[in-house]
Chain A
Amino acid sequence: MNAALELERIEYAYRRNTALRGVSLQLKPGEVVAVTGASGCGKSTLLHCAAGILTPDAGAVQVDGQDLAALPEEQRAALRRTKVGIVLQFGQLVPDLPLVDNVALPLLLGGHERGEAHKAAMNWLDQVGIADDADAVPGELSGGQTQRAAVARALVTGPSVVLADEPTGSLDSRAGQELLDVLLEAARYRGAALLMVTHDNLVAASANREIRLRDGLIQHEVSL
């Protein structure tokens, strides 16, 4: 089976800091991988490279067999919009847009009809438990509500790859478990490959594999 996401020897340096020193990993459709490791070891950088938010200094990123760097800008943007769902560690919602529009945004940008996009967005807001807040703008939400909305937005296009950075970080354990279950369902029932960065061992426990980073390298990789 082809990998849904493949990273090959990714290297990345910020101006002063080398964050990744050659990290390779593969996720099959439906597979759930937890990326763990101490603060500053490169987890978010890895996720941003996988998402195409950062361009690696060396190495390659493939989504559904397509090399991101080899695609013209427009196709790369379309691939990211349709195939990759991202939940970032620090908010990513458009501030003045009601939640329903925030969640519908990836569909609207992809040319979907407005009514249809809203219907899909409402459905996802319901799944993550914040349908009642559909008309609120992000500034009116708690950290946990924002995270739920971010998960809804990441899943609305039915992506093949879901990348989530501390997706339950602002939630208490019960709410965190509920949101995690929504993400896991996307993997189990819709076959998305799910890569989750987490400090939370209870979240890591639901993965098929743990990849632990240290200083920009894989320290160990274990099947769970």
Chain B
Amino acid sequence: MATAELVLGLLSAGPAHGYDVKRGHDAWFPDSRPLAFGQVYTTLGRLERDGLVEVIDKTSGGGPDRTIYALTSKGRDHLSDWLNDPVPPAWGSADEVLRKLVAAIRTGGDAAGFLARQRASHLRRIRELRETPADDDPTSPLVREYVVAHLDADLRWLDSALDRISEQRGTR
């Protein structure tokens, strides 16, 4: 679900407590399930172990919520790679596309460039699916049509997202 990358995105504005990260996440995605505290701290712990975030302050005597985390340069690179890469088109990939798009806009990334690459990636996948030769399995055309129809729906949403973003950019 890309929670780790979203946490990096939330820290890109500056160092923060786990609690701020959780609140930030829930504000970015008001319609999704709130991020559990437990998950925030496990994720921050894993990111620290991997050198993507570092602890810059730990008020003595406090619990884990007193710890302040900051993005490392390795973490920043990881985030920017993630924001640049299109999501592999598959069932349910649109959710992650939305997460990346919101994170890109919130962190000042190149949202239009990401959307263009994501469009290309979806279009390529549709072509692949359509060029797959028929086999004997009677369910495979059904599955393929299902996937193509959903990728097409994603693409229509990507289209309007692109238009909306360019409008906002144009009028700013």
Residues of A within 8 A of B126 (CB): 201-202, 205
Of the four ranges (under 10, 10 to 19, 20 to 34, 35 or more), the interface on chain B belongs to: 20 to 34
Interface check B162, CB cutoff 8 A:
yes
Question: B155 touching A201 by the CB < 8 A rule?
Answer: yes
In the complex with contacts A201-B156, A205-B126, A222-B148 CB distance below 8 A: no
A38 to B120, CA, bound (A): 17
Question: B120 touching A219 by the CB < 8 A rule?
Answer: no
Residues of A within 8 A of B124 (CB): 205, 224
Complex partner residue of A220 from B116, B123, B130, B170, CB under 8 angstroms: B116
Point out residues on A near B: beta carbons under 8 Å: 36, 38, 201-202, 204-207, 210, 212, 214-215, 219-220, 222-224
Question: B152 touching A222 by the CB < 8 A rule?
Answer: no
Question: A222 touching B117 by the CB < 8 A rule?
Answer: yes
Residues of B within 8 A of A210 (CB): 119-120, 123
A214 to B159, CA, bound (A): 12
A160 to B67, CA, bound (A): 67
B:137-162 near A, CB below 8 Å: 148, 152, 155-156, 159, 162
Query: Can you list 25 contacts pairing A with B, beta carbon distance less than 8 Å?
Result: A38-B163, A201-B123, A201-B156, A201-B159, A202-B126, A202-B148, A202-B152, A204-B123, A205-B123, A205-B130, A206-B127, A210-B119, A210-B120, A214-B166, A215-B170, A219-B112, A219-B166, A220-B112, A220-B113, A220-B116, A222-B117, A224-B120, A224-B123, A224-B124, A224-B127
